[in-house]
Amino acid sequence: MKNLPYLEVRKRYIDFFQRNNHKEIPSAPLVPEDDPSVLFVNAGMFPLIPFLKGELHPKGTRLTNSQRCLRTGDIDEVGDEFHLTTFEMLGNWSLNDYFKKEAINLSVSFFVEELGFDINRIYASVFEGYEDIPEDNISISVWKEIFEKYGIDARVGQGEKIQKYGKKENWWGLESGGPCGPDSEIFYDTGKPTCGPNCHINCNCGKYVEIGNNVFMEYFKDGEKIKSLGRHNVDFGGGLDRIVALLQNVDSVYDSDIHAPIFEEVKKISKVTNLESQRIITDHIKAATWIIMDGITPSRNQQGYILRRLIRRAIRHGRKLGIEGYFTKQIAEICIKQFSPIWIGLEEQKEHILQTIEEEEIKFNRTLDNGLRELEKIADNDFDGKKAFQIYETYGLPLELTEEILKEKGIELKNINLFWEAEKAHQEKSRTSSAGLFKGGLADTSEMSTKYHTATHLLLASLRKVLGDHIYQKGSNITAERLRLDFPNNEKLTEEQLKLVENLVNDAIENKLEISFEEVSKDEALQKVPFAAFSEKYGDIVKLYYVGEKEKPFSMEICNGPHVKNTSELGKFKIIKQENVASGIKRIKAILE
């Protein structure tokens, strides 16, 4: 195997797929735009959902990139050798272009020829079939052919080069629905001893590590039903961090050159050695810098809450390690230096990121001591969710930390429901319960959200017509039930103005306007749409969405979609609420009936 620096591995992957006629696309930001059903992008395919469903991608049918991802579901796993919350996923996609044979061959060529992985230590898993969906015998024969080419007589079965699994291991798609299909994963034998006679590639004992996954998306999940998608897509994803750890022959993802400078610094300032805590700090502070770069600040809700939880958890582990004084800024500085060559936004927003992290540490330290002291006092075997909530309310000690501390004491937190009930009673505003926030993300691919997405464009254009050119989208949030748009305006809108805006949107709907887009350079787009709130998330080439004729559109916005094809699909538009969200910022909530 070739011991390469990670930046080189990353580059070789993109170059390899470009040589094989793929176009590179930029990494989307961690926070998905206008899709509240998932807090963070958790796989490379996530931003491509509209295109996997059939929308034409401006760059063609073969795409590649390295996407920054965050998996909230893995927060509690961090601390072992291979789990991380933020990581990069190498991805290549065929949008109804090549299929199983070419996809698997490309993956193997990359690993074996480009990176020097030993084919003798590569294993494959394939889908064994489930209900109406047949066993993936095409992938089996592709794998056999590949192994044969290398002089290996590959067989199917336990302990063999090709191993079959069911839906749990070899089916991929988002819970909420959308494109999905059987997959074929690629594993590498680390050379560690087997865990016993029943050891197999998916047994997670550490002997075999998954290095990549080809998902063959020819199905579509609609509710509980699995239908044909009518297209054959490939979605490949491979964890850069794991691949690099194997190539560099190190013990964990924290010891490769991706994380080593951060990890070493954490070790240096620790008074005691505890690899788990040291890995948690490395991971969590790195994650915090990436999340803040993508526009989030610590708060009590949604992404802001995850960010807060990560920073606070890192601080608590810092205490465990006997680290004295404030330390998160010092670690964050190294994270920024380490990842700026890939994410330039880190360097550009350096001061803001460091300040945000440090402020959170100061705030947390103030309350943590008191909270921990109180918890020590009252922790007993009757400790329940209600008490956890009191500590949370009074000292800001997050539920997860309370749980963790109790666990260390061998105390089980009883009746966690009481925590949620108390929280609900306490808050007038309804908000997502944080329990739901830690699950893996679920993409909202519903038709309704797509409609709201288009309606938001109509609303913004109408507001500009009624109020003037100072209006732009300051924020937006869409669910399958409603849309929400924030924009700058000093005065609240009068009843008359609201009615005018509503009528303009409904006129646009009645006029059955077509929606189309074109791909233009960022500069050209900015000339046409100077009010676009630009950020790093847009590449050099952007999509310009038009509602109505291109020459004289009702609305023109820079956006990634998805959108309906014609405004006539939207139904009736109704503004249900206007709010003042911050000084000079107004919010409108609206529904489609």
The footprint of ligand SER (CB under 6 A) covers 43-45, 91, 172, 213, 215, 235-237
Cβ closer to ligand SER: 208 or 392?
208
48 versus 281: smaller Cβ distance to ligand SER: 48
Q: What is the DSSP string of 307-336?
A: HHHHHHHHHHHHHHTT--S--HHHHHHHHH
Tokens 């979609």, residue located? 561
Residue placing its CB nearer to ligand SER in the complex, 214 or 555: 214
In angstroms, rounded to a whole number, what is the distance separating the alpha carbons of residues 456 and 359?
35
Nearer to ligand SER, 182 or 237 (CB): 237
Number of other CB atoms surrounding residue 565 within 10 Å: 11
Shortest approach of ligand SER to residue 43 CB, angstroms? Answer: 4
Q: Whose Cβ is closer to ligand SER: residue 177's or residue 396's? A: 177
| Nearer to ligand SER (CB atom), residue 174 or residue 544 | 174
* Nearest distance, CB of residue 45 and ligand SER, angstroms: 5
**105-112: long-range contacts (C-beta < 8 A, 24 or more apart)?**
105/142, 105/146, 106/17, 106/20, 106/236, 107/186, 107/212, 107/214, 107/236, 107/238, 108/146, 108/186, 109/16, 110/13, 110/16, 110/17, 111/186, 111/211, 111/212, 112/150
Identity of the residue, 91 or 318, whose beta carbon is nearer to ligand SER in the bound complex: 91
For the packed helices 399-408 and 385-395, what is the interaxial angle rounded to 10 degrees? 120
Q: Distances from the Cα of 311 to the Cαs of 41, 79, 147, in angstroms?
A: 19, 15, 46
SS3 category, 265: helix
Q: Cβ 315 to ligand SER, closest distance in Å? A: 31
Question: Shortest distance, CB of residue 441 to ligand SER, whole angstroms?
Answer: 11
| Distance in angstroms (rounded) separating the CA atoms of residues 539 and 478 | 23
Q: Which CB sits closer to ligand SER, 45 or 285?
A: 45
470 closest CA partner among 458, 488, 486, 455: 488
Q: Minimum distance from CB of 123 to ligand SER (Å)?
A: 16
What's the DSSP call for residue 73? G
Q: Which is nearer to ligand SER, 243 or 558 (CB)?
A: 243
Do 522 and 545 meet the contact criterion of CB atoms below 8 Å apart?
no
Least Å from the CB of residue 401 to ligand SER = 29
Secondary structure letter of residue 299 according to DSSP: -
Match 């999509």 to its residue by tokens: 543
Whichever of 172 and 573 has its CB closer to ligand SER, that residue is 172
CB nearer to ligand SER: pick between 96 and 390: 96
Question: Closest distance between ligand SER and the C-beta of residue 181, in Å?
Answer: 10
Residue 66 CB, nearest approach to ligand SER (Å): 12
Q: Please, what is the minimum distance in Å from the beta carbon of residue 233 to ligand SER?
A: 11
CB of 180 to ligand SER, least distance (A): 10
Pairing of strands 178-189, 208-222: antiparallel
Of residues 210 and 283, the one with the C-beta less far from ligand SER = 210
Using CB positions, name the residue nearest to ligand SER.
237
Q: CB of 34 within 8 A of CB of 548?
A: no
| β-strand pairing of 585-592 with 483-488 | antiparallel
Query: CA-to-CA distance for 240 and 88, rounded, in angstroms?
Result: 6
Q: How far is the CB of 185 from ligand SER (least distance, A)?
A: 8
Q: How far is the CB of 517 from ligand SER (least distance, A)?
A: 25
Nearer to ligand SER, 215 or 266 (CB): 215
CB of residue 238 to ligand SER, shortest distance in Å: 8
Residue 345's beta-bridge partner residues? none
Distance (Å, whole) CA 281 – CA 269: 12
Residue 59 has φ and ψ, to the nearest 5°, of: -95, 5
569 close to 470: Cβ distance less than 8 angstroms: no
Cα–Cα distance measured from residue 327 to residue 142, given in angstroms and rounded to the nearest whole number: 52
Smaller CB distance to ligand SER: residue 94 or 213? 213
Tell me if residue 427 falls in helix, strand or coil.
coil
Q: CA-CA distance, 9 to 23, in Å (whole number)?
A: 18
Residue 256: DSSP 8-state? S
What phi-psi label fits residue 54: left (phi over 0), alpha (psi between -120 and 50 degrees) or beta?
left
Residue 71: CB minimum distance to ligand SER, A = 9
Q: At a CB cut-off of 8 Å and minimum separation 6, what does 313 contact?
A: 75, 280, 284, 400, 401
